[in-house]
Amino acid sequence: MADKKNDKQDYSNPKVQTQVPGKVISMDDYRCHADGCKAKSTKAGFCEEHFAWFKAGLITKEGAKAQDFEKKYYQYVAAQKKAA
């Protein structure tokens, strides 16, 4: 006859628990970190457009606008026109 203690799994030990990969739902948000943007993030948590802004210093890594955003934005737009 089987012992009843051995029939039960020990759920208090995290090493014993296993998860089925197909049934796990990720709770992470994969959207762009920029304020108001709902696009899917592709690089460093930003969409393509906002990643370019991040590299130019227009927004912070949290997605907020820099303190001197307007000044940097005008310089960014002028550089984009010059490059095109």
Residue 16's pLDDT is: 56
Residue 5's pLDDT is: 57
Please give the backbone phi and psi of residue 43, each rounded to the nearest 5 degrees, phi first.
-130, 125
Rounded distance between C-alpha atoms, residue 77 and residue 83, angstroms:
10
pLDDT along the chain (84 residues), means of 10: 56 59 67 90 92 95 94 95 87
- Sequence ranges of the domains in the chain: 27-83
Q: Which residues contact 64 (CB under 8 A, 6 or more apart)?
A: 35
Q: Which amino acid is present at 32? A: C
* Strands (DSSP E) found in the chain: none
**Confidence (pTM):** 0.63
Residue 84's pLDDT is: 80
